[in-house]
Amino acid sequence: KQEVTQIPAALSVPEGENLVLNCSFTDSAIYNLQWFRQDPGKGLTSLLLIQSSQREQTSGRLNASLDKSSGRSTLYIAASQPGDSATYLCAVSPVYNQGGKLIFGQGTELSVKP
């Protein structure tokens, strides 16, 4: 059974710092991995999608990496801003579903202090 774990559960940093969020999964047979952002009381916003054949994806100040063999992904946020404060979730799709049912981690709650 696939399990997704995110560490740390919460993180507080001063504005301007670079930071890394971690996501690990127990079954390397994934179709893709997706990082989301959730603001309080809101839905999920997709940040980056990494297909199983890819090693990383970049969007602006965000960079996500994937090491399937070790069951790990990281989300790197450069030059953090107070507006980055949110809960960050990673989710994997099992290969047999080809992009179907997403299995989520519990999230990392990020607070960026001005």
Partner 1 sequence: GAGVSQSPSNKVTEKGKDVELRCDPISGHTALYWYRQRLGQGLEFLIYFQGNSAPDKSGLPSDRFSAERTGESVSTLTIQRTQQEDSAVYLCASNQGLGAFFGQGTRLTVV
Binding segment toward partner 1, per CB under 8 A, in 14-22, 66-74, 77-85, 104-112: 104-112
Of the pair 75, 80, the CB lying nearest partner 1 is at: 75
Torsion of CA 58, 61, 67, 70, to 10 degrees: -160
φ, ψ of residue 88 to 5 degrees: the values are -110, 130
Q: Which of 29, 79, 100, 111 binds partner 1 (CB under 8 A)?
A: 100
Of the pair 32, 73, the CB lying nearest partner 1 is at: 32
Q: Would you say the C-alpha torsion 37, 114, 60, 95 has a positive or negative sign?
A: negative
Q: Is 46 in the site for partner 1 (CB under 8 A)?
A: yes
Distance CA(50)–CA(113), nearest Å, equals 29
Residues that bind partner 1 (CB under 8 A): 32, 34, 36, 42-46, 49, 89, 91, 97-107
